Structure 1
Amino acid sequence: SEPSPTTSTIPSTTSATIEETSSLANEDYFQEINIRITSLPETLDFLSPHFSKHLDIWGTKIIATPKTPDEKVIHAANILAEYLDNDEDGIPDDDSVISALVKNKSMITMAATELDFEETLDKIDGFEIFDQGFTVQDLYGDETAPEYAFDASLEEVHHLILNYGWGEVYPDQLRQEAGSAIADAMDIARGGRFDSTPSQYPDGAWFTYDDWTCEYECMVTEYTYWAHTSLLGGQADRFDEIGHEWRANTPELMRSIDDYATSILQDPRLKLPKSLPDGNYRGMGLSTVDELATT
């Protein structure tokens, strides 16, 4: 059964100021996008032919292995576009976030499966991606919009934007480190400040992730994803599946149990998404999956 509401205590030091952030991106990134798979650009030639598919969404790149189905790559691009242009008017909601993603050379690396990804990494110098300054998030085709399971692209794309976009533009609120408002909210949700995963969480904690490989900053990223997508209604029917690690899985539970994170994530100054992406970006100048399939 789902938990009964127990309200968190909001610290008095959370009214962090929103600093003005200058736009770093070229104006070209704010032109209309057209989601079409292309070959890799010259800047990514060092990954060819092991990665052969490429999409660009306002400067954030998606690359994929030859085995990754086109429809999975296109779906991930739609999710990315919807997170960045949540009202789907063809214009990114926050140009400072776009600028941060571009500055960080953010990129989603896709493979058909985890095995395909591992085999691909064996064939390339994976460190060169980082040596050239790219920041990456992995995503597998078989976990992207699967027929009978949750769409992992909602999580992995969120992680990329959070770490290299939202968190950089609004560090006081969303930086994925100790001391930010969202990290303080996580400490409340976990029942205390734990630099490493505790063997047992305190009674009353509603975020109880127990992956020993996930250190504090990783925990903040996971927590922010759970809290944000729960407010967007993305986790409402999943309590039996996720309740062992996340209990505030509906907008109502977020408002009653985790009012601190709710106040952060719904702060209109942060311009965060208000609707969960559905994989069908409706912005201007976009080809749908169906259109691409017939061209």
Structure 2
Amino acid sequence: MGSPKKEIANPYLKPDFRPMNFEQYKAEFPNLAGLDCGIDDFFDTYINVFGVTVAAMPNTPVPEVIHAAKIYAKLMDNDEDFTPDDPRIFDYHQQDLEGRNHLIVLVDTKAMDNAWIAFRPGQRFWVPAQALRPGHSGVGHSRDGEMDIAVEELFHKYGKAFQRVYPKDFGLPDYEAHDTWSSTLSNAMDQARGIDRTVRPINGKWTYPENAWYTYDDTSCGWGCQIDEYFWHIWATNIGYYEMLTRPPGTPKENSELRGWCNNLHSEWKPCSKQDLKLMDSKAYLLINNKDYQLPTRIPFGEYGGNRVTYHGYEISVDLKNGLRFMVNRGFAPKLSLKRGNTYFLDQSLEGNSGFPLRFSSSANGVHQGGEEYLEGVVINGIPGNRGSYVRITVAETAPDQLYLYCPEQKGMATDNFLMIED
């Protein structure tokens, strides 16, 4: 039995992606489970997405938190009509009275990560929660062709819900508990690997037949873990995400190549396109495209809702090779539209921003060409080049129809970067 039609009494308003501190969050969502275990000892920024808590540790760049929240919103509500696509998946997130099913955490340092894992209430939350570590959340990376680990990690969270809600087709039999039943997904994976759950690594290595197309070599990832990874692979391949990516995370753009991510994965996963999946893994293809289920079909770039939602985040970087220029989400001259009343965080955490503060002006090149710095609704946090630093603007009703970016320390860094202001 697939997912029901989209009829849901949503107790949560459409997400606006407002980052809140703990006191604000509890006041806004007083009945939300899982907030009384001591979570506030570890996390200081919270965003709610259809009842799912996205919690971030101190110094996590706010745009990364917003980015993660928007990815999950897109997974829950792929058509962006502000109602979750599958009521049963939505309900699953709400059912656990401890809040374990609706927690996504962004960690900042290994020490804090270890402290959270060791924290006794944290241990109860850890497995159902999904963690994003520094470098996992890539604002604007997918659009630039770079693999965004946040998309994978957050799909794992979403996939867990699917496995629990629809066990016959997507379920995860517990091999360690001696489960003998199989799901459609686990049967498809056994065929893709060419071996079943009874096979163990030999001499510290998985051994696969030559005709296998899913050959994950991490021996710490047992049969159940392999199903999680397989579900991600078939979904990302089916929606065209793998095929569009030109390189692995952290790889310079000059090293991009057509199907670069697929080439990187080839020793683990052979299909690259939806057509490849159809020809090579027909069982998975039929399952993932079963219209009875409402799996997301559009890539979650982290852009959910556009200017219909209130809070937004962008990554600012500096091109140090071609004349010192600001880039917004990897682009040199993006024509961004900002809406009056909305709030935008421009993250200057990347080291290349050091010494190059970003500012706004109603004139091109700002003070370098006789203009003035625009200050209304602007908040500056931290020092450029340090993790967590940003410039924030809440666009005033009286804002001009166009604003320009500039750097007061260096002329010409954003000559072509202007922001259109809309009502």
Q: TM-score, normalised by structure 2?
A: 0.59
Q: CA deviation at 1:119?
A: 3.0
Tell me the percent identity. 25
C-alpha change, 1:117 and 1:36, in structure 2 (3 Å) is: farther
Whole-Å separation in 2 of the counterparts to 1:155 and 1:132: 20
- Within the alignment, does 1:63 sit opposite 2:115 as a pair? no
1:272 correspondence with 2:295: yes
Contact 2:3/2:294 (8 A) holds in 1: no
Partner of 2:165: 169
CA distance in 2: counterparts of 1:70 and 1:170, whole angstroms: 34
| SS of match in other structure, 1:292 | strand
Shift of 1:120: 4.0
Conserved 8 A contact 2:3-2:293 = no
Question: 1:130, CA displacement in angstroms?
Answer: 4.2
Which digits, 9 at most, give the CA deviation of each residue in 1:62-90, with x for residues without a partner?
Answer: 11111211111110001000011111111
Alpha-carbon shift at residue 20 of structure 1 (Å): 7.1
Change beyond 3 A, Cα 1:253–1:54: same
Select the residue among 69, 72, 80 that pairs with 1:88.
Answer: 80
Q: Deviations over 1:195-253 (max 9, x none)?
A: 44463101110100011111111110000000001001111121221111011121111
Which protein is richer in strand relative to its size?
2
Q: Relative contact order (alpha carbons < 8 A, sep ≥ 6): 1 or 2 greater?
A: 1
Instruction: Return the match for 2:115 from 119, 122, 145.
Output: 122
CA gap 1:122/1:134 in 2 versus in 1, 3 angstroms = closer
CA RMSD of aligned residues (A): 2.5
Q: Which residue of 1 aligns with 2:265?
A: 242
2:237 is matched by which residue type in structure 1? S
Matching residue's letter, 2:286: S
Mapped partners of 1:75, 1:241: distance in 2: 25
> 1:286 Cα deviation (Å)?
4.6
The reply on whether 1:157 has 2:154 as its aligned counterpart is: yes
Asked whether the 8 Å contact 2:4–2:86 carries over to 1, the reply is no
Q: Which residue of 2 aligns with 1:12?
A: none
Cα separation, partners in 2 of 1:124 and 1:252, compared to 1, 3 Å: closer
Partner of 1:261: 284
CA distance in 2, matches of 1:184, 1:270: 18
Match of 1:212 in 2: 219
Does residue 28 of structure 1 match 2:28?
no
State the distance in 1 between where 2:126 and 2:273 align. Answer: 37
Equivalent position SS for 1:166: helix
Give 1:167 shift.
1.3
Counterpart in the other structure of 1:5: none
Structure with greater helix share of residues = 1
- Count of matched residue positions in the alignment of Structure 1 and Structure 2: 272
Match of 1:186 in 2: 189
Q: Which whole-Å deviations, capped at 9, do the CAs of 1:252-292 have from their partners, x for residues lacking one?
A: 11011011101111111111111111110027545332633
Whole-Å separation in 1 of the counterparts to 2:171 and 2:262: 27
Tell me if structure 2 keeps the 8 A contact 1:226–1:249: no
Distance 2:284 2:93 in 1: 23
Which segment is superposed worse, 200-209 or 123-132? 123-132
Report how far residue 134 of structure 1 moved.
7.8
Which residue identity is paired with 2:15?
A: I
SS in 1 for 2:105: strand
Q: Using the alignment, how far apart are the partners of 2:16 and 2:283 within structure 1?
A: 38
The answer to whether residue 137 in structure 2 is matched with residue 144 in structure 1 is yes
8 A Cα contact 2:185 2:231, kept in partner: yes
Structure 2 contact 3–292 (Cα < 8 Å) conserved? no
Q: Cα deviation per residue 1:25-75 (whole Å; 9 max; x = unaligned)? A: 97313x311111111245535122421111111111111111211111110
Which whole-Å deviations, capped at 9, do the CAs of 1:114-151 have from their partners, x for residues lacking one? xx044343267533034479821111231211658410
- Given candidates 223, 238, 241, the residue that maps to 1:231 is 238
Task: Provide closer, same or farther for how the CA distance between residues 138 and 241 of structure 1 changes in structure 2, counting only shifts above 3 A.
Answer: same
Q: Which residue pairs with 1:10 in the alignment?
A: none
Shift of 1:175: 1.1
The equivalent of 1:252 in structure 2 is: 275
Q: 2:107 aligns with which of 111, 118, 122?
A: 111
Secondary structure at the counterpart of residue 75 of structure 2: helix
Paired residue type of 2:190? D
Gaps of 5+ in 1: 1-16
Match of 1:39 among 21, 24, 30: 21
CA gap 1:228/1:268 in 2 versus in 1, 3 angstroms: same
CA distance in 2, matches of 1:221, 1:123: 24
Identify the range of structure 1 (142-151 vs 276-285) with the bigger mean alpha-carbon deviation.
142-151
CA gap of 1:191–1:274, structure 2 versus 1, over 3 A, is: same
